[in-house]
């Protein structure tokens, strides 16, 4: 938690202001019972009306100051803690943006979402309480004991008995609540996960009639959270009456023993009243501390979770003395590349070697799960290779700045991702300064112009969240346009053409050929049609290269390729 509190630095001045005001507030509140006892003991007893009015006026003034301070601190502490929360969210988000896919796999997207929202809110709320009570409670407790002792030293033993009891109650509750709050945060994660799957996969859920199953799953997660929250709240609910009981018992004890002292003429009535008020103030300040202790476990559980995110260093970082090479443009070379996903026993791709040169089309074909996506995901360094190396323009990509590497790439992922923005802006995501003509040209090449024109607002049409208002093929074509608008040295299409009909596929590839004549093009595909006229076809099977070469050669030499071909093309086409 302390680590996170470093983020409070920009708020030093308002915080100092708050602390001073809170201290003033505490002093004012400690002063009030003394004034009151003076009125009773010195004013009423003697029948001195002028004195009563004078001290009464002072009391009113002190009370007003107290209220003013309270208002200002409430306002300031709310502002500071909200600002702090905003900064924390920004910090976490910026950090997470630097993650490679590996780190996303480790924490999980739903948990990342909870951590940036709910967990930060916990810390933010705790900060607010802390600012208001952290200074207030000790001053009230210590000052209260001191003032009570001043009023009547002999009665203070009552406090000496009560205070340790209360401290024990608070400590006991806090230690029991701590693990429960940690569990609550984990269960909120779980709800998020189930909810996310249920919502993003809603079509699958409907289609397979699994609504009930999903509902049950959500119900279970929901009930888990509820049960845990109820146990925590039971604990907390118990604490309040216990504290009240202790407070009332204390009052009774003070009145009981104080009354005797008054009988003996050793104490005055006003002092007894003041003493009771001080006792209440002391207990209230302990109650405040107990609130802090109640919130502390939750906030600290949350801050641990936030720190976990912050401590997770992006596994893929720019090497010191990063090199860029410019003698060639877009030459890719795989040298004995092997890669396994974290936690997987078998490598997803192994011992891959090939060259892809500018002006050439390299196609990668293979069954599902053969490692095609894995292979191309290694090029932008979404993951780092386990052994071997990938070189772009004769420099190991691990030695290049990531920006320089990715600046060379136009990457179209297997699953098209679009943003909730206009079509034009989605294409311009590839290159911010692209002109309208360039955007339109990229769309034309990607064979997207026709359907964009047919939309009510053309390029200014909005894309719904997740691209719901577009078909799979339309999304793919926009993603292609986005890559093309960069005019990249290296174009990578991961299974981008399978959602297109044969005619569009053919037209798109013809247009691409003109557009990317000087670029290195890597096309991942499952259809033979798509790869047939590539300069080089790499056949993957179970993560290994089982054949490489042009179509005519592979037909003769590679069994796996011949199998794929014969399953897709008729005899005439083969000949
Ligand atoms: P393809 O694109 O050829 O269909 P992939 O490259 O997506 O195949 O997958 C290759 C293998 O790697 C599969 O066995 C798959 O289960 C595994 N795999 C893919 N992505 C991940 C991941 N993020 N974590 C672990 N294993 C994965
Ligand atoms: Mg794939």
What token pair was written down for 506? 């053919």
Q: Are 268 and 396 in the same domain?
A: no
Q: Please work out whether the CB of residue 348 comes within 6 Å of at least one atom of ligand 1.
A: yes
What is the model's pLDDT at position 322? 61
Count how many Cα atoms sit within 13 Å of the Cα of residue 388 in the half-sphere of its side chain: 20
Give the domain range for residue 352.
Answer: 332-408+488-574
Q: Please work out whether the CB of residue 413 comes within 6 Å of at least one atom of ligand 1.
A: no
Assigned domain for 291 exists: yes
What is the model's pLDDT at position 530? 85
Q: What is the CATH number of the domain that holds 382?
A: 3.40.50.300
End-of-domain residue from the set 279, 311, 343: 311
Assigned domain for 56 exists: yes
Q: Are 62 and 138 in the same domain?
A: yes
Assigned domain for 220 exists: no
Q: Are 380 and 258 in the same domain?
A: no
Task: Determine contact, residues 408/330, Cβ cutoff 8 Å.
Answer: yes
Assigned domain for 76 exists: yes
Residue showing tokens 């959500």: 218
Q: Are 66 and 116 in the same domain?
A: yes
Q: Are 272 and 344 in the same domain?
A: no
Number of domains the chain is built from = 2
Q: Are 9 and 84 in the same domain?
A: yes
- CA 525 to ligand 2 center in whole angstroms: 9
Q: Are 172 and 294 in the same domain?
A: yes
Q: Which element (helix H / strand E) includes 84?
A: helix 49-97
What is the model's pLDDT at position 536? 93
Q: Are 162 and 291 in the same domain?
A: yes
pLDDT means per 10 residues in the chain (575 residues)?
84 91 92 91 87 93 95 94 94 89 81 88 91 87 91 88 87 82 82 81 80 88 92 87 89 92 90 91 84 78 88 76 66 93 87 92 91 93 91 88 87 88 92 92 92 91 84 91 92 87 87 88 89 91 92 90 84 59
Q: Are 246 and 343 in the same domain?
A: no
DSSP 170-231: HHHHHHHHHHHHHHHHHHHHHHHHHHHHHHHTHHHHHHTT-HHHHHHHHHHHHHHHHHHHHH
Q: Please work out whether the CB of residue 496 comes within 6 Å of at least one atom of ligand 1.
A: no
DSSP 343-402: T-SS-SEEEEEEEE-TT-EEEEE--TTSSHHHHHHTTTTSS--SEEEEEETTEEGGGS-H
Q: What does pTM read for this prediction?
A: 0.70
Q: Are 304 and 356 in the same domain?
A: no
Query: What does the alpha-carbon distance between residue 180 and residue 142 come to, in Å, rounded to a whole number?
Result: 32
- CA 371 to ligand 1 center in whole angstroms: 6
Q: Are 9 and 75 in the same domain?
A: yes
Residue nearest to atom 5 of ligand 1 (CA): 371
Q: What is the CATH number of the domain that holds 276?
A: 1.20.1560.10
Three-class secondary structure assignment of 270-334: HHHHHHHHHHHHHHHHHHHHHHHHHHHHHHHHHHHHHHHHHHCCCCCCCCCCCCCCCCCCCCEEE
What is the model's pLDDT at position 16? 92
Atom of ligand 1 nearest to the CA of 370: 3
What is the model's pLDDT at position 337? 95
Residue nearest to atom 20 of ligand 1 (CA): 374
Assigned domain for 198 exists: no
Q: Are 255 and 394 in the same domain?
A: no
Assigned domain for 129 exists: yes
Assigned domain for 210 exists: no
Assigned domain for 8 exists: yes
Q: Please work out whether the CB of residue 104 comes within 6 Å of at least one atom of ligand 1.
A: no
């Amino acid at each position: 938690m302390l680590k996170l509190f470093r983020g409070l630095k920009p708020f030093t001045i308002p915080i100092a202001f708050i602390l001073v005001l809170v201290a003033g507030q505490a002093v004012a509140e400690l002063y009030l019972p003394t004034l009151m006892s003076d009125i009773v003991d010195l004013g009423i007893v003697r029948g001195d009306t002028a004195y009563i009015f004078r001290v009464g006026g002072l009391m009113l003034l002190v009370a007003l100051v107290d209220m003013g301070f309270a208002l200002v601190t409430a306002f300031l502490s709310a502002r500071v803690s909200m600002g702090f929360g905003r900064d924390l969210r920004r910090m976490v988000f910026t950090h997470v943006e630097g993650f490679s896919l590996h780190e996303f796999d480790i924490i999980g997207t739903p948990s990342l979402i909870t951590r940036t929202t709910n967990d930060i809110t916990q810390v933010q709320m705790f900060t607010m309480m802390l600012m208001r009570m952290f200074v207030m409670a000790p001053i009230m407790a210590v000052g209260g004991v001191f003032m009570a002792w001043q009023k009547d030293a002999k009665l203070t033993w009552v406090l000496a008995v009560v205070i340790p009891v209360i401290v024990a109650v608070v400590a006991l509750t806090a230690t029991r609540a701590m693990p429960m709050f940690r569990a609550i945060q984990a269960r909120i994660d779980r709800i998020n996960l189930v909810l996310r799957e249920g919502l993003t996969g809603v079509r699958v859920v409907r289609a397979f009639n699994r609504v009930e199953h999903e509902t049950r799953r959500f119900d279970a997660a929901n009930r888990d959270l509820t049960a845990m929250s109820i146990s925590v709240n039971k604990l907390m609910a118990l604490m309040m009456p216990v504290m009240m009981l202790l407070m009332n018992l204390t009052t009774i004890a003070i009145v009981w023993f104080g009354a005797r002292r008054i009988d003996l003429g050793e104490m005055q009535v006003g002092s007894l009243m003041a003493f009771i008020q001080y006792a209440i103030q002391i207990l209230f300040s302990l109650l405040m501390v107990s609130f802090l202790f109640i919130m502390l476990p939750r906030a600290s559980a949350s801050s641990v979770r936030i720190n976990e995110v912050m401590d997770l260093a992006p596994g893929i970082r720019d090497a010191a003395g990063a090199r860029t090479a410019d003698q060639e443009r877009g030459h890719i070379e795989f040298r004995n590349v092997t890669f396994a996903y974290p936690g997987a026993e078998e490598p997803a791709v192994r011992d891959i070697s090939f060259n892809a040169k500018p002006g050439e089309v390299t196609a990668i074909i293979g069954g599902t799960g053969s490692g095609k996506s894995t292979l191309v995901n290694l090029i932008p360094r979404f993951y780092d290779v386990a052994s071997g190396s990938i070189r772009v323009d004769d420099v190991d990509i691990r030695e290049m700045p990531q920006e320089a590497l990715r600046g060379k790439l136009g990457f179209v992922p297997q699953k098209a991702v679009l943003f909730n923005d206009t079509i034009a802006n989605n294409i311009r995501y590839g290159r911010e300064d692209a002109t309208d003509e360039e955007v339109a040209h990229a769309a034309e090449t990607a064979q997207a112009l026709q359907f964009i024109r047919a939309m009510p607002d053309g390029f200014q049409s909005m894309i719904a969240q997740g691209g719901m208002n577009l078909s799979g093929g339309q999304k793919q074509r926009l993603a292609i346009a986005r890559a093309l608008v960069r005019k990249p040295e290296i174009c990578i299409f991961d299974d981008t053409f399978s959602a297109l009909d044969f005619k569009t596929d053919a037209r798109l590839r013809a247009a691409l050929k003109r557009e990317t004549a000087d670029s290195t093009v890597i096309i991942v595909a499952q259809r033979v049609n798509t790869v047939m006229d590539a300069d080089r076809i790499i056949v993957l099977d179970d993560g290994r290269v089982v054949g490489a070469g042009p179509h005519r050669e592979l037909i003769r030499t590679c069994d796996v390729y011949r199998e794929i071909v014969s399953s897709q093309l008729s005899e005439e086409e083969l000949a």
